[in-house]
Structure 1
Amino acid sequence: MFFQPIAVSFFEQPTLVLARSLLGMLLVKVTEVGVTSGWIVETEAYIGPGDRAAHSFGNRRTPRTEVMFGPPGFAYTYVMHTHCLVNVVSGEPGHPEAVLIRAVEPCTGIDQMYERRGKDKKLKKLTNGPGKLTKALGIDREDYGRPFFERPLYISEGKQVENIAAGPRIGIENSGEAKDYPWRFWVKDNPYVSK
C-alpha cells in the first residue's frame, strides 16, 4: 500500500482549522523495517505566544521550540515523561503554533506496531495516546524538523470524517484559563481516541 504525501499548501490553514482538518488524514512513517500508518482521530491545537499551555507561550524561543518559529508543515517532536510526542507546526513563520497529534487508528504495519509496543496490548490500546502512537509508528526525536509533506514521515489523504467533537485539552492543568479552551478535537465515538 503506497500513499502520497499531501501538498505543503494543506498546512497553510489557521491552526484551529488545521487541527480539525487533520482528523481522518493518514500519518505515515517509513523505516528500514517497513511502513506503519494510522488515521488521525484526535488532535490538540496550541496557539502560542498567547496560549499559556503552549511551549512557545510569550514567544519563548529555545533550541527545542525553534522549529515552531519557521514555516508550517514541519514536525515538532519532544520528550515528555520518557514519551516522544509529535506535533505539526502551524501558523505563519514567526508565529509559533502547533497541533499535537493525540491518537491514531492503526492502518498499516500493525505487526510492527505490536513489536514496538508489546504483543500483550489490545489493538485499540496500541495508538490511543500521543506517546503510544509515536512508539507504535517509530516516530522519535530524530524526526524533529522533518517536513510532513515528504517521506519518511508524512501525512497523506485519509478518509472522510463525519462527526467531530471538541473540548478542553488534556494534561495542562497548570496553564490558567488556557486549560479550558476547547481546542482538543476528536472523531466522535472512535475507539482509538485517548480518553
Structure 2
Amino acid sequence: MILKKEFYERETVTVAKQLIGKTLTRKIQGTKMTGIIIETEAYRGKNDLASHAATNVTKRNKIMFGPVGMSYVYFTYGMYFMLNVVAKSKKQNAGAVLIRGIYPQDGIKIMIKNRGIKDVNKISNGPGKLTMAMNISMKENNIDLTKKLSVYISDGIIPKKINRLPRIGISKAIDKKWNFSINPKDYF
C-alpha cells in the first residue's frame, strides 16, 4: 500500500527511521523500477544548521516548508540529483528526509544500464547513485509521493535492526545521529 500523508505528518527524525524497509518505486515510459530503502537522513527546519531550511524560505527549499509527502529534488556538486520527501510534524516549520540508498528489486537491468555498472550492490547505494539508477531528475521535484504517479513510496519489509549514525557529508550539526540504515546482506 502507498504511504499516506499521515505517515509523513510526524517528526522528521521518526519518519526517516520508519522509511527504512519501505519500497521506492519509479515508473517511466511503461517501465517500473523498485528498491527497498536501506538508508535515509533527516533534515529538520530552522534549528537544524545542516538543513536547507535552517534559515529563510528560498526558491530552492520552499518545498520543505510546504505539504508533507511531496518530493524535494535538488542538484548538488554540479552532477547529482538528491531525492527527499517532505516530512514534518504540525509543530515543525520545515523538514525533509533524504533517501540515501535503496537495494534494487525490480527493473534491475534498467538500473544497471542507467548506471553503467553491473554490481547490484553498487547500483544505488548512495543518494546520487540511486537517482541515476532510477533516472530521477528535477522533473520529479514537487511530486505527490502519496499518489501512484511517476515516483511513490509504499510498504516493504520490516527491518529487524536499524543502525543510527551521524549524518554523512555535512559540516554543521554533525552531532545529530539522524542517519538510519540497514545492511542489505541481512535481508537479500
Q: Taking structure 1 as the reference length, what is the TM-score of the superposition?
A: 0.89
Q: Does 1:159 align with 2:157?
A: yes
Q: How does 1:14-33 map to 2 (within 5 A)?
A: 14-33=11-30
> How far did residue 33 of structure 1 move?
4.6
Unaligned 5+ runs, structure 2: none
Distance 1:161 1:146 in 2: 27
Who is 1:115 aligned against?
113
Distance 2:157 2:84 in 1: 20
State the one-letter code of the partner of 1:56: A
Who is 1:97 aligned against?
95
Who is 2:61 aligned against?
65
Who is 1:133 aligned against?
130
> How far did residue 122 of structure 1 move?
1.1
Please say if residues 74 and 88 of structure 1, whose CA atoms lie closer than 8 Å, have aligned partners that are also in contact. Answer: yes
Who is 2:170 aligned against?
172
Q: How high is the sequence identity, in percent, across the aligned residues?
A: 36
> How far did residue 92 of structure 1 move?
4.3
Q: SS where residue 86 of structure 1 aligns? A: strand
Distance 2:72 2:32 in 1: 21
Report the aligned-residue RMSD: 1.5
Please say if residues 22 and 40 of structure 1, whose CA atoms lie closer than 8 Å, have aligned partners that are also in contact. Answer: yes
Unaligned 5+ runs, structure 1: none
Distance 1:96 1:165 in 2: 25
Distance 2:80 2:118 in 1: 17
Q: Taking structure 2 as the reference length, what is the TM-score of the superposition?
A: 0.92
State the one-letter code of the partner of 2:107: G
Please say if residues 124 and 191 of structure 1, whose CA atoms lie closer than 8 Å, have aligned partners that are also in contact. Answer: no
> How far did residue 7 of structure 1 move?
2.0
Please say if residues 112 and 133 of structure 2, whose CA atoms lie closer than 8 Å, have aligned partners that are also in contact. Answer: yes
Please say if residues 70 and 92 of structure 1, whose CA atoms lie closer than 8 Å, have aligned partners that are also in contact. Answer: no
State the one-letter code of the partner of 1:190: P
> How far did residue 191 of structure 1 move?
4.8
Displaced runs of 4+ in structure 1, greater than 6 A?
Answer: none
